[in-house]
A and B are shown apart, each in its own frame.
Chain A
Amino acid sequence: MMDLYLQFGYHMKSLCIELIERWGGGTVILSPRDLNPDQLRRAAKEVVDAGGNTHVDPQLYDPRADHKTLQSHEYFPKAYSTDMVTDGASLRRWLQSLQRLNDSARTSSYILPGRYGSQITADWLAYHDRIVDEAAAILRDKPRLATICLSEETLRSEEQVEDILAAAEEWDVAGYYVVAEHPRGKYLVDHPAWLANLLFLCSGLKLHERQVVVGYCNHQMLCLAAAHVDAIASGSWINVRSFSTRRFNQPAVSDISQRAVWYYCPQALSEYKIAFLDFAAQRGILEYIMADPDLGSDYAGVLFAGALPSSTAYDEGLSFRHYLQCLRAQTCATVRSSFRETLDAQYRMLETAEQTLMFLREYGIRGQDRDFADVVDVNRAALNYLEESRGFQLSMQWEHL
C-alpha cells in the first residue's frame, strides 16, 4: 500500500491532528520552517498523542537559507561553511544537534540533511556520502532516510539519475526521502521527461528494497504507486504540494498570496474555484463534480446540498481537509497486487479523468491552472516509459517490495 503522509505547512497543526485522529494514525513530516523549536515540540507531542508518527524534514536544501524560523533552530547553520561536512568533528556536532531536534519531536525515523544541487556532481555525491556515513555511526537509534533533493535540470537527465541510483545503493540507510523541484515552479508538471525520470528514479530506489518517501506531492504524484513508492507527502497550501527552494528564503506568510478556495474533484484529478462550481450548478451538472462518497470526505458535502456553492460555509480549511481526505483514499487504493494491475489502474484513472474533464469542458467548467487536462498525457507518457524501462524488474520483484 502507498501511504499519504502529511507535509506540514503554514498553520497546519489542527488539520494534522484532526486527520490523524480520523485516520486512526498516520505520519506528519514536521517543518522547522513553519514551527519554531517550541512550536515544533508541542506540535509533535500533539501528533504523537493523537496516535500519529512524526518525522522532521531538516530542510537543509540550502544551508545558507535565511528564513527566520529556520534560523531559530539550533541545528540550522547560522554561518554555513563546507567545513561543517568535511571536518569530522563539526559534522558530528551538527548531526548531534539534529538528533536533539528529532528527540524533541519524538520522530520515528531520521530524515538526514540533503542538499539541493542544480547538477549531480562529484562534490554533491561526496557531501551525501559523508553525511550518510557519519549518521550511520551517530544516529543509530532509529531508521535513517537519506534526502535526495533534485533540481529540475537533474530530473531531465537520465544519466544523472543513474549516478544517483549508483551512489544511493551504497548508502547505509533504511530508505530515501525524495524531493523534486517542479519545472518552472508549476503546480502540475507538464514535462514528460521530468515525471518519467522521477518514476524511474523512485522505482530504482525501491528496487534497492528500501523505503521510499516522496515529499511535497500533489495528486499528480499518485502515479508513483506504479514505482511502488511507500508514501507520498502532501499538505494544505500549494507550497507543500510542490517543491521549490524559494520557500526557504521567504517570509512566513507572504508566499500565500492567492488565497482562493478550491474544490478537488478526484475523478477529474482537477481542482476548481468555487465560482466554477456556481457555474456548474447553473448549468445543472454540479453533481458530476461531486467526489465519490466512498472516498470518505464529508467536508465538501455542503457544496452539493442545494445552495449555490459560493453561498455556503465551504472555506479554505474545509478545502484542505477535503483534498487530503480524498487524496489519502486515492493513495491507499493505488498499489495493487501486481505491477500490471497497478499500472492498469493508473491508466484507468487517467481515462476516467480525461472523460470527466471533456464532459465538464463541454459545459465550460475549467480548473484553470489546476486543470488536469493538459497533463493527462504527461502522466501517460511517464507511465509508459516506466513500463518499458522497469516493467520487467518491477513485475518480477513486486511482491518483495
Chain B
Amino acid sequence: MDLPDEATICAAIPGLSSLALIARGGQKVVYRATHEVFGDVVLKLILADNDDRLRREIEAVSENRFSNVPAIYHTGRISQAGQGSVYLIEQYIDGDTLRSMLVGCQGLPLLTALRVLRDLLRTAVELERCRLVHRDIKPENIIIDGAGKVWLLDFGIARHLDKASITATVQAFGPATLGYAAPEQLRNLKRQIDIRADLFSIGVVAYETIAGRHPFIAGARDRFEVIQRTESVEPPRLTIPGDSRGLLACFVHQLMAKQVSRRPATAQQAMEWFAAVLPTVQGVQLTETQ
C-alpha cells in the first residue's frame, strides 16, 4: 500500500496548496503546506491500516485545548485506488526544534533552558487534567517559536489513562524513545505509567538543555547501555551557574528519579516546586510573559 501523492492530496483536500515535504516514513508523511482558511499548516498523512496512533493523536489534541500544543484544524480521509489514508491538518509553528538548537552547543543559555522547563511543566499540568500522558517528550518534539514560546508536538503515542491501551500488556517494551522514556515506560509497566513518566522525560530534556549533554546517551556504547543507565545509573550531578543552593539541580534530578515514588507526585506539584526553586537561582529573571 502506498501513501497518496501530492497531486492527489491537493485534489482531495480543498484549499490546500504549496506542499513541502518535512518528513517521510514507510507509513506516514508530513508536509508543510498553505491552506486558504488556516494559513500555514502542517499536514500529517498516515495509511488507514495504521491509523490507531493518528486517531489517538487527533482525540488527544482536538478534544482538549492546550496552550503549548499546536491546534488541529481539520481531519479527514483520502481514498486512492481502493486504499485509504487518514490525514490531519494542524497549526504550523514557525520556529526551530530544540534538537536543532542543541546541536553543537554546550547547553542553551540558562534563561532559555528555564523557559523550556517551565513551559513543558505547564503543558504537563494541562495533560494531567485531561488524564493524558504524552510518552514521547524529547527535543525533536519540542519547537521554540520566534517569540520564544515553547511548543510540544506529536501525540502519536499519547495515552489516555482511562482508555484501553493500544500496546499489548505482555509486550516487554512499551512504545518509547530510548534515553527519554522513564524506566516504567521502557518496561511497559502500565500500572505505574502516569504523568510522572512525562515528568521523567521533562527532567531529561531539562538536563540536556542545561548541560549540553544527554544524561544517559552521552558516551553510551549501545542502546542496551542506554537502557541500563536509564534504569539504574544516577547521572552526573548538574552544576548550574547561579544555582548557589543547588536546588534547581536537585529539582531536575528529582524529575529524573528512577523510582516513580521519588518524583513529584503530580505535574501540579512539580510546577509548584519549580516555582519555589526559581527564586533561589541567581542572575536570571524569568517572568510570566517571557
Contact = CB atoms under 8 A, between A and B. Distances in A.
Contacts of B261: 162, 165-166, 169, 204, 207
B262 A390 contact: yes
B276 A396 contact: yes
A392 interface: yes
A207 B265 contact: yes
Contacts of B264: 393
Contact of A396 (B191, B262, B273): B273
A389 interface: yes
B64 to A, nearest CB: 24
Interface string A368-401: 0000000000000000000001101100110000
Interface in A94-116: none
Contact of B265 (A208, A389, A390): A208
Nearest to B258: A162
Main secondary structure of the interface of B (DSSP, over half): helix
B191 A166 contact: yes
Contacts of A165: 260-261
B262 A166 contact: no
B192 interface: yes
Interface in B140-166: none
Contacts of A169: 261
B195 to A, nearest CB: 13
Contacts, number: 29
Given A207-B265, A390-B262, A392-B251, A166 B273 contact: no
Contacts of A207: 261, 265
A208 B265 CA distance: 8
A396 B260 CA distance: 17
Interface string B247-284: 10011001000011110110001001100100000000
A165 B191 CA distance: 12
Contacts of A389: 262
Contact of B192 (A166, A208, A209): A166
Interface residues of B, number: 16
Contacts of A392: 247, 250-251, 254
Contacts of B250: 392
B265 A162 contact: no
Interface string A279-298: 00000000000000000000
A228 B264 CA distance: 17
Interface residues on A, range: 10 to 19
B5 to A, nearest CB: 49
Contacts of B273: 396
Nearest to A170: B191
A161 to B, nearest CB: 9
Nearest to B259: A162
B251 A162 contact: no
Contact of B260 (A166, A209, A390, A397): A166
Interface in A138-180: 162, 165-166, 169
B191 A393 contact: no
Nearest to B189: A166
Interface string A285-328: 00000000000000000000000000000000000000000000
Interface in A181-227: 204, 207-209
A396 B250 CA distance: 11
Nearest to A163: B192
B254 A162 contact: no
Given A166-B192, A208-B265, A393 B254 contact: yes
Nearest to B251: A392
Contacts of B260: 162, 165-166
Contacts of A204: 261
A197 B253 CA distance: 21
Interface in A65-88: none
A198 to B, nearest CB: 14
A390 B261 CA distance: 9
Most B Cβ at <10 Å: residue of A162, A208, A393: A393
Most B Cβ at <10 Å: residue of A165, A207, A390, A392: A392
B166 to A, nearest CB: 22
Contacts of B247: 392
A396 B268 CA distance: 13
Interface in B74-127: none
A393 B247 CA distance: 11
Nearest to A205: B261
A204 B257 CA distance: 14
Contacts of B251: 392
Interface string B173-197: 0000000000000000001100000
A289 B24 CA distance: 80
Nearest to A164: B261
B133 to A, nearest CB: 16
A349 to B, nearest CB: 26
A266 to B, nearest CB: 33
A339 to B, nearest CB: 13
B192 A393 contact: no
Contacts of A208: 265
Contacts of B276: 396
Interface of B: 191-192, 247, 250-251, 254, 259-262, 264-265, 269, 272-273, 276
Interface of A: 162, 165-166, 169, 204, 207-209, 389-390, 392-393, 396-397
4 nearest A-B residue pairs (beta carbon): A165-B261, A204-B261, A392-B250, A396-B273
Given A162-B261, A393-B264, A396-B269, 12 more contacts: A162-B259, A162-B260, A165-B260, A166-B191, A166-B192, A169-B261, A204-B261, A389-B262, A390-B262, A392-B250, A396-B272, A396-B273
15 contacts: A162-B260, A162-B261, A165-B261, A166-B191, A166-B260, A166-B261, A169-B261, A207-B261, A207-B265, A208-B265, A392-B250, A393-B254, A393-B264, A396-B276, A397-B269
